[in-house]
Copies of this chain bind each other. A is one copy, B any other.
Amino acid sequence: MTPNKFKKLLTRTHFSKDLKNLQIGSDVRVAGWIEDFRDIGKLGFLTLRDVTGAIQSVLLGPNLEKAKTIPRQSSILVVGTIKPTKSREFEVEVSVKEIHVYSEAIHSLPIDPTGRIESNLDNRLDSRALDLRNPKISKIFVLRSQLLKIIRDFFILRGFIEVNTPKIIGSASEGGSNLFSFDYFKRKGYLAQSPQLYKEQLILSLDRVFEIAPFFRAENSHTVRHLNEFLSVDIEAAYLDYFDIMDIIEELVKLTLKHTIESGYHADLPNSESKSFLDVVSSPFPRLSYEQCLKDLGEMDEKVNFGDDLLDSSLRKLGEKYNSFYFITNWPLDLKPFYIHENDENPLLSKSFDLQYGYLELVSGGTRQHDVSKLKHRLQDQGLSIDSFTNHLKTFEWGMPPHSGCGLGFDRLMMVLSNLPNIREVVLYPRDTSRISP
């Protein structure tokens, strides 16, 4: 079979970003959309953009006449020759020989993807595909894609095996109120809110596992940092304790920060104008015990009693004192889920940590309880039914090694790295209590 006419028409030779490396006089075929067009008489300048950047193309004669008739944002192919340019914005320009329209944009458009006219977030999300033609928006998702690769490679290098745990689960074991439920072939099914039980089971044999996957929470809250579907980075490792996991996570978060700097994404973090990204990368994240936090807060006239959770207001104060990223360790056991190990030195405390960025919780982790009789007691203490954990508990009778792990909210990390105040900015099609489409 030979490629058909359609195929030949499609053949582009370069992305926008590649043109500056070509020799003057090279022939190119570049595809993208018309971002801008200026007609200055005998000459026209058309800015063609693709996801890798923009190029200036120069039109004369019939091509100029044709360009006048094509609406902005239409999808086109430009055939031409690389020429030097006088423009300050571009390194070269394309002298156009031929212009082909694949698909015309029908105006008026719901939002302005050049960003000149600002739209509110709701309107942008309603027209997300068009919103992404704004390079400021698309680069968030290019960064997101790069960081996912960096995170996976980081864990693979350290002997973690990627696993896929089920998103459909048969029991609402960790407390059912936050789970979406549905009919699953005459039984009740639920959407998983984390891979917690599965990843613990898997380290029995696979030793170190990670998963990056969507999870679901039926929580009826509407904030800038919660979504009902979110991407979670989960790890679990045998023979490591929570200090090891903190070391791993600190190294990982610094790596993502470093990449964000190097990719030129952002120069500064919010709430820490005095601290540059590079400072954060080069100094250790403070590790405060819960009890130290209470002490610090007391000194800041914020009284918190032992056993109380730390509210946003308290976390914001700690974030101001300790700057950007900090760990809170050794939380009261009662504040933590049943699977968290008690602390050896004080059984009222736990082997746990959260990684905070100011008030924002990014990571939660700890050493797990691997003694099955203690696990059963903890379940009872928390008013959970041992019977509904039968499948899980039996795996702890097969020689379950000690283990630790954590979950990182990837969308929240993206909020921090891209310095954006709303989690919806860094998710392509966010899901909240009032948004389920597009």
Contact = CB atoms under 8 A, between A and B. Distances in A.
Interface string A405-438: 0000000000000000000000111010110111
A207 to B, nearest CB: 5
A424 B105 CA distance: 47
Contacts of A31: 238-239, 401
A196 interface: no
A391 B438 contact: yes
B168 A205 contact: no
**Protomer copies:** 2
A256 B223 CA distance: 43
A5 interface: yes
A325 interface: no
Interface residue tally on A, bucketed by range = 35 or more
Interface in A44-61: 50-52
B397 A106 contact: yes
A64 to B, nearest CB: 20
Contacts of A183: 180
A1 interface: yes
Interface string A366-399: 0100110000000000000000000110111111
Interface stretch (A7-15, A265-273, A315-323): A7-15
A182 B182 CA distance: 5
Contacts of A114: none
A133 interface: yes
Contacts of A81: none
Interface string A38-82: 000000000000111000000000000000000101110100000
A130 interface: yes
A138 B205 contact: yes
B402 A165 contact: no
A182 B183 CA distance: 8
Contacts of A51: 161, 205-207
Contact of A6 (B216, B289, B344): B344
A170 B344 contact: no
Given A214-B167, A437-B169, A103 B205 contact: no
A302 to B, nearest CB: 24
A157 to B, nearest CB: 11
B73 A170 contact: no
Nearest to A152: B149
Contacts of A345: 4
A37 interface: no
A201 B138 CA distance: 14
B436 A187 contact: yes
A180 B171 contact: no
Contact of A162 (B34, B148, B228): B148
Interface string A96-121: 00000011111001100100000000
24 contacts: A3-B243, A4-B344, A4-B345, A7-B244, A33-B399, A50-B207, A51-B205, A52-B207, A73-B398, A129-B202, A131-B205, A133-B205, A141-B161, A144-B162, A145-B156, A145-B162, A163-B428, A164-B428, A167-B167, A168-B436, A171-B437, A184-B436, A202-B428, A214-B214
List the 4 closest pairs (A to B, CB-CB), nearest first.
A132-B205, A170-B437, A182-B182, A170-B436
